[in-house]
Structure 1
C-alpha cells in the first residue's frame, strides 16, 4: 500500500483500526439493547405461578484462562402440567437446592425466575411406594 502523504500511518491501517473500533462499539450497543429489551419484556409479562417439575439442570462456565477467574451461570428447565417447558436462569444457591424430579409451584415473570415452592419428588407426589 501507499504511505500516507501527510506522514501518518497508511490509510489501510487507519481503516482497519476504525473498523475494529466500530465492531467493538456495535457489539457493546447490541448487548445493551438486547439486555434492555429482555428486561422490558419481563417487566411487561404477568407474574405466573403454576405446578411444574424440574426436568433438567445445566451450567455454563465462561472466562478463566490461566490464572484469571471464571464465572458460572446456572439454568434449570421446568416442565408444566401441559407439557410446556421453560429454562430459567437461577442463582447458585437455588441451583444447588433443586434436583431433577422435584415437583412444586413455579413462579416466574417472563424469563425471570421468581421462586419454586418444592412439594417433593415426582414419584412421592404421585403416591408411589
Structure 2
C-alpha cells in the first residue's frame, strides 16, 4: 500500500478558524443593517412635514419574499412577503423624487394627478388632489 503523508487535520483547522470569523462578520452585517434601518426611521419620523405642489409621475411596488425552514422539521417551510409602495413626485422646478408610501395612499392616487403632497423625510404621508378640471379635459 502506498504511504500517504498525514495532513494533520489541516482542513478541519482551517474550517474551525474561518467559521467563527464568518459568523461574526454576518452577525455584524445584520446588526449594522438593523441600526441603519432604525436610524433611517428615526430620521424620517423626526423630519418636519412639508406640503408642496407636485405631479405624480410614477408609482411602483417592490415585493420582497422571505423563506424560512424550521431547523427541527425540514418539511415545514414558512414563506412570506412584504410589499413596499413608492410614489414619484415631480415639482414645479422639474425635480423628481421618489417617496415611500407609509400612509397607504398608493391606491388612492394615479399617475398624472396634481395637487399638494405632504412629505416627511423620505416618506409621502398625504396627497390632496387638485380638483380643478379644465374645459379641455371635461367629459360634458
TM range (shorter): 0.7 to 0.9
Greater Cα radius of gyration, structure 1 or 2: 2
Count of aligned positions: 122
1:2 aligns with 8
Structure 1 residues 26, 74: CA separation in 2 closer, same or farther (over 3 Å shift)? Answer: same
Write 1 or 2 for the structure with the bigger share of helix: 1
* TM-score, normalisation: structure 1: 0.77
2:23 aligns with 21
In the TM superposition, residue 40 of structure 1 has moved relative to its aligned partner by 3.4
Unaligned stretches of 5+ residues in structure 1: none
Alignment of 1:88-127 (within 5 A): 88-91=99-102, 93-120=104-131, 124=133
Secondary structure of the corresponding residue to residue 107 of structure 1:
strand
Alignment of 1:26-105 (within 5 A): 26-63=28-65, 68-91=79-102, 93-105=104-116
Unaligned stretches of 5+ residues in structure 2: 1-6, 68-76
Q: CA RMSD in A?
A: 2.7
